[in-house]
Amino acid sequence: MVCWVMSRGFCRVSSVLCRFSSVFRGCASAGSVRFGSGCQERLSRPLLSGTVDRFGGVTVRDFPPDISEEEFAELLRGSLHQWRSERRVAVWLHVPISLSRLAAAAAHHGFSFHHARGDVCVLSLWAASGEDRTPAFATHQVGVAGAVVDESNRKVLVVQDRNKTTNAWKFPGGLSDLGENIGETAVREVLEETGIRSEFRSLLSIRQQHEHPGAFGMSDLYLICRLSPLSYDIDFCTQECVRCEWIDLTELAKTSETTPITSRVARLLEYGLEKGFHNIDLTMEQLPAVYSGLFYQLYHRRLPETI
Amino acid sequence: MVCWVMSRGFCRVSSVLCRFSSVFRGCASAGSVRFGSGCQERLSRPLLSGTVDRFGGVTVRDFPPDISEEEFAELLRGSLHQWRSERRVAVWLHVPISLSRLAAAAAHHGFSFHHARGDVCVLSLWAASGEDRTPAFATHQVGVAGAVVDESNRKVLVVQDRNKTTNAWKFPGGLSDLGENIGETAVREVLEETGIRSEFRSLLSIRQQHEHPGAFGMSDLYLICRLSPLSYDIDFCTQECVRCEWIDLTELAKTSETTPITSRVARLLEYGLEKGFHNIDLTMEQLPAVYSGLFYQLYHRRLPETI
């Protein structure tokens, strides 16, 4: 991976270079920008304002609200000329949905959609010569399932999904919400689907699948956690499941009415019950992140001194 | 998770209901659609055409190329009325960048950006009453590092990044490309950064971090793999690294000049060298995916019968 991407730290460090009021010199009036060729010839050309990041990219977030596609294409042409002369390597346009027409104008200059969410789309252009080093957007959705193990009777909580063509036993689970920890997703999904309250114990298994159905052309990471039950009376969601049961682990490990991943995790859990869960667990440790001030979660086999 | 999301299988199953040529009844001419109020009053209102999926959503991919924002807002209004009467639960608009102006028109009816890539943005609207069950787009970028262990001398390959403020030893790595397997990323990144050829052995550790710098507001999964060297002569990328060395594992486990995750993985690797790597590894198994005909990769502790 090239430096720009490798650093994994794309952040703005410089202050705003200039604002529209000062940028649209001569031809700007409140709320709109007019492009008279005579005006432009007499005065310096108007330019978009942006912030420069430590990688040499420039980000534009402010646009004249009434500008047409054609006017914006012209404004962008001049700005790109300027940024290239300043050796900016990339240009990012954060376009509000109300000005979505500007994306078409930007496409004429080689911009494409980098990502979009809610009411903003972000377009990018690699402005330097050589290899395009634009860092990519998120590529994976994350799904989490919870294997709730009742150690007192060697049973585990399983469901049969309503929407699946073959009704196979599997662990309850679903997609992580943005910002949700793996263990939180498992506990939430188990409660929503089965009515069982539980707590996170460990991570057991990870599946990576590309071109996953339902992932909008992206990839999928599916993680299975080990959970301990805090309640035992099933009250399952009939919208999502046709069946929900506490099933004997040995039965689940042997049955053909399940998925390959569920079967393998059942065998792991059997082994964990017999020899100790430290043989199968990835334990979680929470550590402070250097940059954000938030915490991250680290999963791996228990460290040797604690085994 | 609600059913619609839980199923993890959002795909189109019905054929195209109707095409523009038949949809824009009366008022359509080749390549453009005109909206004369008299014309619309005399004839049935034009509607957008779309495909219906098995979850009750409708997806529109074809738009009149010359339609204005105002005309599209009106066309969408009538179409939404029709779809709601048909109890469609969600509407998806796949808008080409050349028609990006339509996004602004759609926003007037409550649409927002779901995602965008390249030359298409996708807008969505939850059209049913009750909770918004629109499945989310990818939430995580995936970074992979490779710990290349030379078992003959207990050394491991480490680098110091050029772009980091503190120069700490870490394992070479970077972001996965879309569609790239975890082990492939590790091997590629190690080669690009250090010049060392290697092969994938196992997965050792997973870190989840939200609001990760450089992830455009999304989350990050960072995985560390164990690799075996296939070459030994370092030829590191000076654009990315300031230093690259084979370092003694015990030294790496003890030094303060490293990251918490690298330190922990070094201790795991020490333990693996002493007691066998099966004590620390998540092994990989490749299995056929039911839906796509592709393969997925499953990682977990070695199954009991093989230990």
Name the residue among B142, B162, B173 with its Cβ closest to that of A139: B142
How much is the pLDDT for B42?
A: 40
Q: Give A-chain residues touching B137 at CB under 8 angstroms.
A: 117, 138, 141, 216, 218
Most confident of A45-49, B64-68, B193-197, B276-280: B193-197
Q: Detail the DSSP E strand segments found in B151-272.
A: 155-161, 173-175, 198-209, 219-229, 241-248
Tokens of B2: 């609600």
> Can you tell me the mean pLDDT for B169-174?
96
Q: Which residue has the tokens 């080409």?
A: B96
Contact A268 B300 (CB under 8 A): yes
Q: Which helix (H) or strand (E) is A208 found in, with range?
A: strand A198-209
Task: List B170's β-bridge partners, or say none.
Answer: B159
How much is the pLDDT for A162?
A: 84
- Average pLDDT of chain B, as a whole number: 85
Task: List A141's β-bridge partners, or say none.
Answer: A220
How much is the pLDDT for A164?
A: 66
Q: Give A-chain residues touching B236 at CB under 8 angstroms.
A: none
pLDDT at B147 over 70: yes
Q: Which of A114, A111, A112, A204 is nearest to A156 (CA)?
A: A204
Q: Give B-chain residues touching A271 at CB under 8 angstroms.
A: 303-304
Residues B97, A113: contact at Cβ < 8 Å? yes
Q: Which helix (H) or strand (E) is A209 found in, with range?
A: strand A198-209
The pLDDT tens digits of the residues spanning B74-91 come to: 999 999 999 999 999 999
Q: Which of A276, A91, A115 is nearest to B139 (CA)?
A: A115
Q: Give A-chain residues touching B103 at CB under 8 angstroms.
A: 97, 100, 103, 121
How much is the pLDDT for A305?
A: 67
How much is the pLDDT for B70?
A: 94
SS3 state of residue A272: helix
How much is the pLDDT for A149?
A: 98
The pLDDT tens digits of the residues spanning B8-60 come to: 333 332 322 333 333 333 333 333 333 333 334 445 678 999 999 988 999 99
What is the value of pTM for the model shown? 0.84
Contact A208 B5 (CB under 8 A): no
How much is the pLDDT for B33?
A: 34
B121 against A35, higher pLDDT = B121
Q: Give A-chain residues touching B121 at CB under 8 angstroms.
A: 100, 103, 113, 116, 121
How much is the pLDDT for B290?
A: 73
How much is the pLDDT for A15?
A: 29
> Can you tell me the mean pLDDT for B274-282?
93
How much is the pLDDT for A176?
A: 96
Name the residue among B8, B212, B298 with its Cβ closest to that of A143: B8
Identity at B115, one-letter amino acid code: H
| Residue A178: burial class (beta carbons within 10 Å; 0-12, 13-18, 19+) | middle
**Which segment of A173-182, B129-138, B182-191 scores lowest on mean pLDDT?**
B129-138
Rounded to whole angstroms, the Cα distance separating B306 from B293 reads: 28
Task: List A243's β-bridge partners, or say none.
Answer: A160
Contact B138 A135 (CB under 8 A): no
Taking 70 as the pLDDT cut, the residues of chain A under it are 1-44, 164-165, 291-292, 304-307
Q: Which of B210, B215, B205, B296 is nearest to B259 (CA)?
A: B205
Contact B299 A7 (CB under 8 A): no
